[in-house]
Amino acid sequence: MRKIFLTNGLAIPEIGFGTYKAAPEENISVISKAIEVGYRYFDTASYYGTEKFIAEAIKQSGHGREEFFIASKLWKADMGYENTKAAFKKTLENLQTDYVDVFMIHWPRPDLTRTDWKELDIETWHAMEEFYEQGKIRALGLSNFLPHHAENIIRNAKILPTVAQLEFHPGHTQTFALNYYREKKIQLQAWSPIARGRVANDELILELAHKYDATAAQICIRFCVQEGVMPLPKASSLERMRENLASLDFEIDEFDMMRLENMPPLGWSGEHPDRERIRN
Ligand SMILES: NC(=O)c1ccc[n+]([C@@H]2O[C@H](COP(=O)([O-])OP(=O)(O)OC[C@H]3O[C@@H](n4cnc5c(N)ncnc54)[C@H](OP(=O)(O)O)[C@@H]3O)[C@@H](O)[C@H]2O)c1
């Protein structure tokens, strides 16, 4: 699989596997299947409760830790200098490893009443920088940070973020943020790249699926890849995992990419870092 080079030199696979809700019934079978199919980058978070299942699945796979890329995230309740240190150690323990490849702040604001979120983010970042300097984190990242949140970190950081994660799929491309991260050379990753199926019946997606002999999910994932946004699809069956990886095997033409970029807003999760969640 092709690799993406982050600005600090770390090379990561061009597609990752999302692990939110990927350990149903508290077992490793979904993650083990993803390893079998060929995924080597796993996106997790302390909040998902899947860290320990990733560790176990890697152990049982027979492949070495160094073949994998594990990204985890610091939860809202764990922000602040000392809390971050404790939470990161717990993440390492859960993952049974002495380093993570990518570590991100999950959300820029723990809740909307926190008016001091800028200071809190900076304190949190400084704790993460220390782990980076000790070699325990290979790349620092931001999740759900819009440009005004990211800029606060960038202006106060010793070590710059190299990865950022946002909701991104046809119908919800957050173009201003996308361009901001492109300009900063911070690699954007797409969470919910197939919008959990919410765009699957859109007329343009269906037309392109037919034209490219692909599925709706593949059109969404391929769209991310061609935008230079690393997709992190989650799936439960071997068939879907393979189908999603096969998005790397075809190409959407320039004209159709423009149509996808300009389709009407669709499939937003309802989550925004500065607003109460809208239940769709
Ligand atoms: N940073 C954040 O705040 C944040 C937020 C949300 C998600 N994420 C990350 O992004 C990852 C992916 O996002 P997501 O899980 O929300 O959504 P997603 O990957 O867009 O969609 C996953 C859903 O689509 C289904 N699916 C997968 N492949 C399919 C296919 N080929 N055809 C039809 N349906 C298919 C899956 O069903 P089955 O499982 O039944 O196969 C699952 O219900 C997460 O797992 C997580 O790692 C991060």
Q: Read off the pLDDT of residues 7-56 as tens digits, 9 standing for 90 and up.
A: 999 999 999 999 999 998 899 999 999 999 999 999 999 999 999 999 99
Residue 191: in which H helix or E strand, if any?
Answer: strand 187-191
How far apart, in whole angstroms, are the C-alpha atoms of residue 142 and residue 180?
13
* Mean pLDDT on 127-152: 98
How far apart, in whole angstroms, are the C-alpha atoms of residue 26 and residue 46?
15
What are the tokens at 6? 């982050």
Residue 140 is predicted with a pLDDT of 98
How far apart, in whole angstroms, are the C-alpha atoms of residue 239 and residue 232?
16
How far apart, in whole angstroms, are the C-alpha atoms of residue 71 and residue 31?
14
Q: What is the pLDDT of residues 84-122, one digit of tens each?
A: 999 999 999 999 999 999 999 999 999 999 999 999 999
Residue 18 CA: distances (Å) to CA of 45, 70, 151, 191, 241? 10, 11, 26, 8, 11
β-strand partners of 143: 165
What are the tokens at 262? 């300009």
Residues marked active site are found at 48
C-beta neighbour count of 57 within 10 angstroms: 26
Where does 3-261 sit in CATH, by number? 3.20.20.100
- DSSP codes, 229-248: -EE----SSHHHHHHHHGGG
Asked if residue 12 lies in contact with residue 3, where contact means CB atoms within 8 angstroms, the answer is: yes
Positive or negative CA dihedral for 82, 45, 268, 151? positive
- Answer yes or no: is pLDDT of 279 > 90: no
With H, G, I as helix, E, B as strand and everything else as coil, classify residue 150: helix
Residue 25 is predicted with a pLDDT of 85
65 HSE (CA, 13 A, CB side): 11
Residue 95 is predicted with a pLDDT of 98
Q: Structural domain boundaries of the chain?
A: 3-261
For residue 17, the CA-to-ligand 1 centroid distance in Å is 9
Using alpha carbons, select from 125, 163, 124 the residue that is nearest to residue 141. Answer: 163
Q: Verify whether ligand 1 is closer than 6 Å to residue 144 (CB atom).
A: yes
Task: Identify the residue whose C-alpha is closest to ligand 1 atom 9.
Answer: 191
β-strand partners of 50: none
How far apart, in whole angstroms, are the C-alpha atoms of residue 76 and residue 69?
23
What are the tokens at 50? 């899947």
- Answer yes or no: is pLDDT of 157 > 80: yes
Task: Identify the residue whose C-alpha is closest to ligand 1 atom 44.
Answer: 18
For residue 4, the CA-to-ligand 1 centroid distance in Å is 21
Q: Verify whether ligand 1 is closer than 6 Å to residue 19 (CB atom).
A: yes
Task: Identify the residue whose C-alpha is closest to ligand 1 atom 19.
Answer: 233
How far apart, in whole angstroms, are the C-alpha atoms of residue 94 and residue 42?
14
Q: What is the pLDDT of residues 165-217, one digit of tens each?
A: 999 999 999 999 999 999 999 999 999 999 999 999 999 999 999 999 999 99
- Answer yes or no: is pLDDT of 280 > 90: no
